[in-house]
Amino acid sequence: MATGWAPEGAVQDQIDATIEDEVKRARARLNKGPSLTHCEECGVKIPVARQQAVPGVRLCVKCQEIADQEDEHFSGYNRRGSKDSQLR
């Protein structure tokens, strides 16, 4: 595939970097440690059933839903940069 001035394998390097970043983001979202008794965002008590169902839980259901919606809207990283930065 013709890529202009890009070095050989640059497209694959971008694909690999994007996948690596997504894996890191997914691992960062995993719960760690013991469950909290109160939500770290709003302070509401987290029910014992939720603490047992989701080990390492840190957010109440309402705050977790908000966090999940924010993650849905993450558009990823712009690896191409602006044309101006490519001309420098």
User: For 3-61, what is each residue's pLDDT tens digit?
Assistant: 567 678 788 888 888 888 888 887 777 777 899 999 999 999 999 999 999 889 999 99
Looking at residue 45, its pLDDT comes to 97
Higher local confidence (pLDDT), 21 or 84: 21
Model pTM?
Answer: 0.55
CB 11 within 8 A of CB 3: yes
Distances (CA, A) of 10 to 24, 32, 77, 82: 21, 35, 16, 17
- Residue 19 maps to a domain: no
Domain ranges, residue 36: 28-73
In a domain, 38, yes or no: yes
Residue 87 falls within a domain, yes or no? Answer: no
The count of domains in the chain is 1
